[in-house]
Amino acid sequence: MRIRLLPFLLPLLLLPVACGRGQQAVEEEPLPELPRLGFFADSLLVEEWSVQPGETFTGLFTRIGMTSDESFRLAQACDSVFDVRRLRAGNGLEVYFDSLGHEVKYVVYNNDRIHQTVFKCFDSLAVWTSGKEVEYERKYADVKISSSLWNDMTCAGASPLLILKLSDIYAWTVDFFGLHEGDRFRMLYGQTLCEDEIISVDTVYYAVFEREGRQVPAILFDQGDGGNQYWNAEGQSLKKAFLKAPLQFTRISSGFSYARKHPVTGKIRPHTAIDYAAPAGTPVMSIGDGTVLSAGWAGGGGNTVKIRHNASYVTSYMHLSRYAKGLKAGQHVHQGQVIGYVGATGTATGPHLDFRVYKDGTAINPLKMESPSADPIRPENLPALDSVRRVYEAMALDLGAGSR
Q: Which class in CATH covers the domain with range 45-131?
A: alpha beta
The yes-or-no verdict on residue 273 having pLDDT over 60 is yes
Strands of 153-250, DSSP E: 184-194, 197-211, 214-220, 230-231
For 20, other C-beta atoms within 10 Å of its C-beta total 10
The SS3 call for residue 73 is helix
Give mean pLDDT, residues 67-77: 95
Residue 176 has what pLDDT?
83
Q: What does the DSSP 8-state code read for residue 336?
A: T
Domain 135-231 maps to which CATH number in 3.40.366.10, 3.40.50.20, 1.10.3720.10, 3.10.450.350?
3.10.450.350
Range from 69-83, 172-186, 312-326, 377-391 carrying the lowest mean pLDDT? 172-186
Q: What does the DSSP 8-state code read for residue 59?
A: H
Query: pLDDT tens across 217-232, in order?
Result: 999 999 887 667 899 9
Residue 265 has what pLDDT?
58
The yes-or-no verdict on residue 8 having pLDDT over 80 is no
Amino acid identity of residue 397, one-letter, is L
pLDDT-derived band at 266 (thresholds 50, 70, 90) equals: low
Give mean pLDDT, residues 202-227: 90
Residue 94 has what pLDDT?
96
Residue 112: partners with Cβ closer than 8 Å, 6 or more residues away: none
Distance CA 109, CA 119 (A): 8
The yes-or-no verdict on residue 19 having pLDDT over 70 is no
pTM over 0.85: no
Residue 346 has what pLDDT?
93
Q: Which residues share a beta bridge with 268? A: 261
Range from 36-50, 75-89, 180-194, 244-258 carrying the lowest mean pLDDT? 244-258
Amino acid identity of residue 225, one-letter, is D
Q: Which of 278, 269, 261, 281 is nearest to 355 (CA)?
A: 278
* Between 201 and 16, residue with greater pLDDT: 201
The SS3 call for residue 91 is coil
Q: Which residues share a beta bridge with 191? A: 137, 201
Distance CA 132, CA 149 (A): 31
* Between 248 and 285, residue with greater pLDDT: 285
Q: Which of 211, 219, 214, 224 is nearest to 235 (CA)?
A: 219
Cα 101-89-77 angle, rounded to 5 deg: 65
The yes-or-no verdict on residue 404 having pLDDT over 60 is no
Distance CA 213, CA 134 (A): 39
The yes-or-no verdict on residue 369 having pLDDT over 80 is yes
Q: What does the DSSP 8-state code read for residue 256?
A: -
Task: Judge whether 284 and 320 are in contact, CB under 8 Å.
Answer: yes
Mean pLDDT of the chain: 86
Q: Which of 260, 248, 253, 256 is nearest to 358 (CA)?
A: 256
* Between 404 and 199, residue with greater pLDDT: 199
Residue 24 has what pLDDT?
58
Task: Judge whether 331 and 341 are in contact, CB under 8 Å.
Answer: no
Give mean pLDDT, residues 147-163: 90
Q: What percent of the chain has pLDDT over 70?
A: 86
Instruction: Show contacts of 253-259: CB within 8 Å, 24+ apart.
Output: 253/277, 253/352, 255/367, 256/365, 256/366, 256/367, 256/368
The yes-or-no verdict on residue 368 having pLDDT over 90 is no
Domain 251-368 maps to which CATH number in 2.60.40.3880, 1.10.3720.10, 2.70.70.10, 3.40.30.10?
2.70.70.10
Residue 20 has what pLDDT?
46
Start-to-end CA distance of the chain, whole Å, equals 68
Q: What strands, in cross-sheet order, belong to the sheet with 115-120?
A: 45-50, 92-97, 104-110, 115-120, 126-131
Strands of 238-308, DSSP E: 251-254, 257-261, 268-271, 274-277, 283-285, 290-297, 303-308
* Between 109 and 11, residue with greater pLDDT: 109
Residue ranges per structural domain of the chain: 45-131, 135-231, 251-368
Same fold across 45-131 and 251-368: no
